[in-house]
Structure 1
């Protein structure tokens, strides 16, 4: 696919971008979220902890002063008299600028953890079928979430040029991510907030190969076929599922597939794992049984609930769940996994 030209993008989306221009233009201060029914509360389980300010000199000191002056002017921080003090922490960013936050390593263990669930990337991908995806990076997102008034003092950061506390959520605090997720779920309740495909190269044969134009063409066709075969699709809740599993002397592998309405099978995911020295000494039966058990656990989030069919080239495995009353420890563990 050829990248779209700038002119074509403007022609297609110019009116839309113009209508919502204020969302894309740089803002000197992030807009606070209105009517948020909660604030970032910081519940602690110990007396205040305190630390000394860091030593900053030269450019780092000048940049830190300028940044805190800007945060103070914009109302993100204010001077503090808090007994809770965490040292200033400077984190270099990829664009050669600095990110300023508190070094909350002494404070965070004192904060009661917020158990609000964070999304699992794999689940989001399965729930978001589509062909075109966009990413949106919120401008200073944490600074849009206010801290509860009674807990502002706990965010205090000590610097060589004064003590300051955050009125908005600071980076580095325990539970900041949970409050960010809670906020996003509140303001975007109907919107779901990388899928990496690992391609492993094959080992070269020791024997020499005479490479011809016909071989090159065949090689390209093989690559296209492999790419097509490994192209994953999105999960359809009611579609039949199948696990195709195999084990060799050194590794195990599997493909999870689903069947479409026309009867064709499409890949949902793949799994491979090298066996350790002990597992390599297993019998064929035990390696195949280990493969099934391991793969089912790997795809548990998808397989838990719906019925699925497991395909294997080892026929004896059909008796794995019908073991005698005195099975070996290995057989017991793996066959129990198959029966769950």
Structure 2
């Protein structure tokens, strides 16, 4: 029945599919770096392994490469902006292919390892269902804002997506109340298609 709906919609808009590149009746599917299942999506385990085994970058260029790989899966990461802030500080003023060596501080090394661990621990994200109660939980710290869209299913709350953003210098000077309001505002803008 679902296939019939999809094929009718494709036909209605004059779209064609290549059957040799299509998969039907599969329980799960690897697609564009994600594992897609009936319950939700998550990063592909082999891609996660590559990132979690990444050695401490020696140069700015290596760090930029690591952060690009990590941020591909950003929507699965809680507090990504806050955890990556110190790493992004190394990129300030650097050119794209900057080969300068990085002088790592113990705190920055700890955050580097934490970022890898966060990806390894990333939870499966569910699909929005209009029959379930939806919630937006927002938080703000001195350095970043973050939120999660989640829905209440049979066994409790299941995340749909995470969002976080590093605060700029002016925003860091906001009161706690104003940072929380900023978090709500930015999160509603980010997830307006779901809310």
- Same-fold call, TM cutoff 0.5: no
Higher helix share: 2
The two structures have a TM-score, normalised by structure 2, of 0.43
Bigger Rg, structure 1 or 2: 1
